[in-house]
Amino acid sequence: MVSADRQDGTGGYGSLNGTMQTFLSEVQKDLAQGMLSPRVLNDPDIHRAELDRIFTKCWVFVGHVSEIPSPGDYVLRYVGEDQFILARDEQGEIQLLLNNCVHRASPVCRAEKGNTSHFRCPYHGWIYKNSGEWNGAPYRAKAYRTLDTARWGLRKAPHVDSYQGLVFACLDPDAVPLREYLGDMCWYLDIVFGLNEQGMRAAGDPHRWIVPANWKSGAENFVGDAYHVQSAHSSLEDIGLLPDLGESLSTQFHVALEGGHGLIITPNLLPEPLWVMDYPPEVASTFDLARLGAGQREFLESRYGVVGFTIFPNLSLIRAVASTERGRPPVCFTALRQWQPRGPEQFELWNWPMVWNSAPPEFNQASYEGSVFGFSPSGVFEQDDTVVWRGGPMVGRSAFARQDMKLNFQMGLDGMSDYKPRPDWMGPGEASTSVYGESNQRRWWQRWSEALASS
């Protein structure tokens, strides 16, 4: 859309040109009226700007501490479209290292995961410690007698930190601390992941698969789109694997947080005594609710749970119940999911089923199976969603649609529904009375446009 107007002379977006700024101002005006240009779902220049402006500036999820428990453990990860090694070094510190040799850029690590103290580049054999420092090269005494070795380590993310076991990295040296970036989301992360000292772990390696849609469709769905469930997922009700979808839609609501983060809250779906976010007694009895604050305990005692969230830009959570076959008791499951951009027309979906370290193995197995049944490459929910998100790139590339088509984000605006602030909410953020509103989605897009417009 703006290629012809690119004027910064760098081939990149060191400074966004006027046309992009104008477009983003229009996006913000449109959002105030509940509209959005479909261009945002398929534009190469917007995509490039997202990589430059969002993925190098925001804290981005890169994994769970349980994936690299011991010194030497590593996994390959992405920030935007850049590949990194997430490693626990010999001192036990977590490092995020760009997986490109500083000699001629070859990837120094070609396994998806493993354990090693060093990475040896396959091209000329330079060697790096798992902390990123340069550690040697073949024929060093002949070839590199005066090399400034301190200068030639692997490129490191300047900031890596974790909260409740979730590891994030930020490529911006001037980043705010992770806790400040997450803000009030920490309150809800304590509830989802911090119910006891042992916490949760990734049940295995993340599932990964390509989806022919724009990454933002996933992020904005999980930040607030409970409305689609009655339509996109209605076949699950039809075959008896989900309860009355209209009923759950009528009892869920949103919480909007600063920073583009947002959640969908649900009352417990299973009957007593499954009172702690639908966990059965043998799991709930392992929780130590004294770790939580009074408001967080009130949240749980009110039989509320988090069913989904998005942390800006591209980490989401699903926490729901599923029966994997008719007649089998439903079980609660939790999964982290990440929308990894792969160009403007497709993304890679990464999915981490999570289980409790304190729970009986039988529960964790059933929970894992429920998770995979619903949300995974073969997940029955997942396929409903990924099919409908294909429309984004289609309309985003349509010459006709790009003339003046707007997508509708008006639910909840101007008396269109009963969507109001919920009084006396015990937690941080703005809670709503229902999910018949798209305020969380509009806020997510507002944050997106501000991030793209910032210098």
The reply on whether position 109 binds ligand FES by CB under 6 A is: no
Residue 291: which of ligand FES, Fe ion, none does it interact with, CB under 5 to 8 A by kind? none
Amino acid identity at 52: D
The only residue of 385, 392, 395, 432 in contact with Fe ion, by rule CB under 5 A: 385
Cα–Cα distance for residue pair 327/394, rounded to 1 Å: 40
The reply on whether position 124 binds ligand FES by CB under 6 A is: yes
DSSP code, position 71: T
The only residue of 6, 57, 103, 297 in contact with ligand FES, by rule CB under 6 A: 103
Min. distance of Cβ 332 from ligand FES in angstroms? 47
Binding mask 48-87 for ligand FES (x = CB under 6 A): ----------------------------------------
Min. distance of Cβ 233 from Fe ion in angstroms? 6
Cα–Cα distance for residue pair 79/58, rounded to 1 Å: 10
The reply on whether position 128 binds ligand FES by CB under 6 A is: no
Question: What is the torsional sign of CA 189, 192, 198, 200?
Answer: negative
H runs (alpha helix) in 265-346: 281-284, 294-301
The reply on whether position 126 binds ligand FES by CB under 6 A is: yes
Which of these, 183, 207, 224, lies nearest to 352 by C-alpha position?
Answer: 207
Residue 104: which of ligand FES, Fe ion, none does it interact with, CB under 5 to 8 A by kind? ligand FES
The reply on whether position 104 binds ligand FES by CB under 6 A is: yes
Environment class of residue 396 by beta-carbon count within 10 Å: exposed (0-12), middle (13-18) or buried (19+)?
A: buried
Q: Which residues contact 271 (CB under 8 A, 6 or more apart)?
A: none
Q: Please, what is the end-to-end C-alpha distance for the chain in angstroms?
A: 20
The reply on whether position 110 binds ligand FES by CB under 6 A is: no
The reply on whether position 121 binds ligand FES by CB under 6 A is: yes
Give whichever of 220 and 385 is closer to Fe ion, judged by the CB atom: 385
Which of these, 429, 447, 376, lies nearest to 189 by C-alpha position?
Answer: 429
Residue 121: which of ligand FES, Fe ion, none does it interact with, CB under 5 to 8 A by kind? ligand FES
Question: What is the torsional sign of CA 234, 240, 246, 249?
Answer: negative
The reply on whether position 97 binds ligand FES by CB under 6 A is: no
Which residue ranges make up the site for Fe ion (CB under 5 A)? 385
Which residue ranges make up the site for ligand FES (CB under 6 A)? 101, 103-104, 106, 121, 123-126
